[in-house]
Amino acid sequence: MMVLKSRQWRILAELAGGLPQHVSQLARMADMRPHQLNGFWQQMPAHIRGLLRQHDGYWRLVRPLAVFNAENLRILGEKSGFQAALKHECVSSNDEILELARISLDKVHKALCVAHLQSKGRGRQGRKWSHRLGECLMFSFGWVFDRPQYELGSLSLAMAVACRRALLRLGLDVQIKWPNDLVVGRDKLGGILIETVRVGGKTVAVIGIGINFVLPKEVENAASVQSLFQTALHRGNADAAVLLETLLAELDAVLEQYAEEGFVPFLKEYETANRDHGKAVLLLRDGETVCEGTVSGVDEKGILHLDTGDGRQTVVSGEISLRPDDRPVSVPRKREPERFLLLDGGNSQLKWAWVENGIFTAVSRAPYRDLSRLGAEWAERADGRVRIVGCAVCGESKKAQVQEQLASTIEWLPSSAQALGIRNHYRHPEEHGSDRWFNALGSRRFSRNACVVVSCGTAVTVDALTDDGHYLGGTIMPGFHLMKESLAVKTANLNRPVGKVYPFPTTTGNAVASGMMDAVCGSVMMMHGRLKEKIGAGKHVDVIITGGGAAKVAEAMPSAFLEANTVRVVDNLVIYGLLNMIAAEGREYEHI
């Protein structure tokens, strides 16, 4: 990253709009004599030096750049209620807002960070966002929601709608590629990355947006606002400040409505803007086609719906890439599908997921007293080529009930001494609950740090996993229902409805609810402290919570703990562990 001096930034910001500036004014800004400016300009990055034109004592750039003045940016942001900060150079604008979220919930809402250069800018799926100074408009901001994280799956699609609205206001017609890329045909104009964190019982969404302002020379299949502007209007140049101001106004309006009504009001608009709606597409993972079909739409959760040769499929994975299917008919359309039915046999209910080539196509659950839904899905979906793999702690009789619904053998996988680069330190792995083991294996999809892995089911388990792949074991305690049942049976006056969780409960029902929650949260925090001490200072320990009570536990954790640590709620963590296991068969395991 090239480091510029403060006076160089001032000069560049003054010229960035593309309008002529007199050398005397520029010299005053740089605190030097006019004849010294030429030597000063030679210190600029090479791709910017060649943009300068001089005539009759005036300097101008042949094309504008996305470079800002801090004070002008502050005023621009205030028009839509954003508190703007300018970072000439930073690691990532998303990181700047994430750090603010941990410091102050009040200050992070509508806090805006515009970055000129990022050393580790990132996009979806961990990809690096490549850019040169002035070529890309990059900014991140925070928005506080009262909703839990899992209800914001469609937020990035809504943000794509807002960005498209802004561009339309400027006369630029662009499309959206699912889930949230801004595109012009096959060329990418911009992308959106959203990261969330729980703070003080609320969800902070950090929304990062990058839009090519000038056509990036070193990036293939790219579009830019500047080139579109000239093509569409045949006059003048785009202005980065006008672009940002228009974006912020639309983002603010869409977010206000999304916070109240969700994605439903934007569904039709998204469908209209979706480049691939009604068209044949390929879904790829690591360059390989894993699914193909015709896009039939998205739903209110942002999930993609495809019509395939096997019927309607839903795609919920964010780890895939979508491409138009324009291959010649003579080319084989895809490899032979790998189809799985993955089972999580818990104590009180069965969960299952249908998977094709590594993609969840459906996820369901049912109590053991009525597994007819599983049987019906098997009759509808299975064609003899489905492999069934499961993990069970429910006992042999319930496993037999599951087998009755399926006309194929189930591979029940136990805990093992080692798998997927993780070593199991349980003294007798054969006695280790397989759900705890596969929760640990599944956690690697969501964190590469040390983790406390919590499962809130019939029992609550709290396990420790180091960053270098050592499963250290953990604790087991009664789940909420068992705690309540024990109090009801063993005490004379506590067999009453459970109340709500309060910091200082003043009724018996509330005291019972609060005591049970404190027990679980306290156990999680104790394990977190032990693991942090074990791995040493300076390393992060994340918390991943799964199970029916996961969201309530995450919301009940102390605000100071949530602000200092990453806490994630993940549904179906055991199934992710099973998916990791089968994905690694026959090849070296990679963190996804």
Q: Which residues pair with 206 in a beta bridge?
A: 142, 195
Residue 277 amino acid letter: H
- Of 435, 463, 467, 468, the active-site residue reads 435
Between helix 240-261 and helix 155-169 the angle, nearest 10°, is 140
Alpha helices (H) in 129-262, listed in sequence order: 155-169, 225-233, 240-261
Tally Cβ neighbours within 10 Å of residue 585: 7
Distance CA 313, CA 87 (A): 43
Q: How far apart are CA 343 and CA 396, in angstroms?
A: 14
3-state secondary structure of 133: coil
Q: What gap in Å lies between CA 430 and CA 247, rounded to an integer?
A: 57
Residue type, 2: M
Question: Sign of dihedral through CA atoms 18, 21, 25, 26?
Answer: positive
Query: For 117-120, which contacts have Cβ atoms below 8 Å and span 24 or more sequence positions?
Result: 117/1, 117/2, 117/88, 117/89, 117/90, 118/89, 118/90, 118/91, 118/92, 118/93, 119/1, 119/89, 119/90, 119/91, 119/92, 120/91, 120/92
CA distances from 343 to 412, 545, 571 (A): 9, 19, 14
CB 344, CB 572: distance < 8 Å: yes
Rounded CA-CA distance 288/271 in Å is 27
Give yes or no: 187 in active site. no
DSSP state of 527: H
Report residue 363 CA to chain centroid gap. Answer: 20
Query: 6: how many CB neighbours lie within 10 A of its CB?
Result: 8
Element (DSSP H or E) covering residue 282: strand 280-285
Structure tokens at 377: 């899905």
- What angle, 0 to 180 degrees and rounded to 10, lies between the N-to-C axes of helices 6-15 and 23-30? 150
Q: Characterise 286 by phi-psi region: left (phi > 0), alpha (psi -120 to 50), beta (else).
A: left
Q: Which amino acid is at 392?
A: A
- C-beta atoms surrounding 70 within 10 Å: 15
Query: Known catalytic residues?
Result: 435
